[in-house]
Amino acid sequence: MEKTIGRMSLYRRLLLDIEKRGASHVYSHELARVAGIGAAQVRRDLMTMGFSGSPSKGYHVADLIGHIGTAIDPPEQQRVALVGVGNLGRAILAYFHGRRPKLAIVAAFDDDSAKVDKVVHGCRCHPLRAMSEIVPALDITVGIITVPAESAQDIADRLVNLDIKGILNFAPAALRVPPGVFVDTMDITTALEKVAYFARKGR
């Protein structure tokens, strides 16, 4: 079901597009085509999420968008901290700045004195030591790790101690966390090596 959740966010983006084009209904095979997957996959996903369409009209676009929202959006604002204000950290701050009111990066942390107390893309940068105060105060439940591999585990441990429940990790390191904390690692180096490999070998 984890994969299904991941696709919901994609479906919603595609549906917003479709809605903008003025269509009120969409067939599973249409949504599948733009999502680049099979129609059965789409129907299975929507079934898993408890959404029904009607035979011969398909799925009601606006309803489905709403349904996805209630299923995957936080009911009220969910707050995120970003640790490591390097190039990648700044890119992520820039990307999310003001984009999702419901899912906002509200604090950044970095020990580089050139960055501390600066406001980067709408987000103030604090020293690492301030984490233990700011994370609980702002009720932050998700962390984004964009520090070098060597410090990633240490940062993860500290975030876990501060009761963070989800981590999006960009460091090329396998984080170990206790059960109950969800981690997704996006390892860009590994991804590029994999793409390069299959570009050479095929499949």
Comparing CB distances to DNA, the nearer of 1 and 114 is 1
How far from the centroid of its chain's Cα atoms is residue 84's Cα?
A: 17
Binding of residue 142 to DNA (CB under 7 A) = no
Using the rule CB under 7 A, give the single segment among 22-30, 82-90, 149-157, 194-202 that binds DNA: 22-30
Using the rule CB under 7 A, give the single segment among 34-42, 95-103, 152-160, 186-194 that binds DNA: 34-42
Binding of residue 171 to a second copy (CB under 8 A) = no
Amino acid identity, residue 186?
M
Binding of residue 194 to DNA (CB under 7 A) = no
Task: Give Cβ neighbours of residue 22 (< 8 Å, ≥ 6 apart).
Answer: none
> What is the spatial distance between Cα 1 and Cα 41, in angstroms, rounded to a whole number?
12
Q: Of the candidates 88, 81, 80, 79, which has an alpha carbon nearest to the alpha carbon of residue 146? A: 88
From the list DNA, a second copy, none, which binds 38 (C-beta under 5 to 8 Å, kind-based)?
DNA
> What is the spatial distance between Cα 21 and Cα 50, in angstroms, rounded to a whole number?
26
Which positions lie near DNA, rule CB under 7 A?
Answer: 1-4, 27-29, 37-41, 43-44, 46-47, 52-59
